């Protein structure tokens, strides 16, 4: 019976240590998860900003392209007009 009591006390001590270790590990994992979620939120906000900037750049490129098309289309007309002015 004394040995059974000793085994029980050893098991309870080991269980308490394991709970303490598991609790610390859980706290560390929750902290790491919070850090990752914060980082993810920042990256998502940066992505949204970059997408808006990209949309603006694409719109600007499209306007330059259409302006260039107009210049090419009416190049001969403008060239003759300038020649006629001289």
Residue 39, pLDDT above cutoff 90: yes
Mean pLDDT along residues 42-66:
98
CA angle 32/35/36 to nearest 5° reads 85
- CA end-to-end span of the chain: 121
Query: Model confidence over 71-85: pLDDT tens digits?
Result: 999 998 888 888 876
Two tokens at 9? 């006390």
Would the pTM of this model clear 0.75, i.e. be above it? no
**Per-residue CA distances from 65 to 24, 43, 61, 62, 69 (Å):** 60, 32, 6, 5, 6
């Amino acid at each position: 019976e004394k040995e059974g009591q000793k085994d029980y006390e050893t098991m309870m001590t080991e269980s308490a240590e394991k709970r303490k270790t598991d609790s610390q590990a859980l706290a560390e994992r929750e902290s790491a998860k919070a850090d990752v979620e914060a980082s993810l939120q920042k990256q998502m906000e940066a992505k949204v900003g970059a997408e808006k900037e990209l949309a603006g750049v694409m719109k600007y490129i499209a306007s330059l392209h259409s302006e260039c098309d107009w210049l090419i289309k009416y190049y001969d007309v403008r060239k003759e007009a300038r020649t006629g002015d001289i």
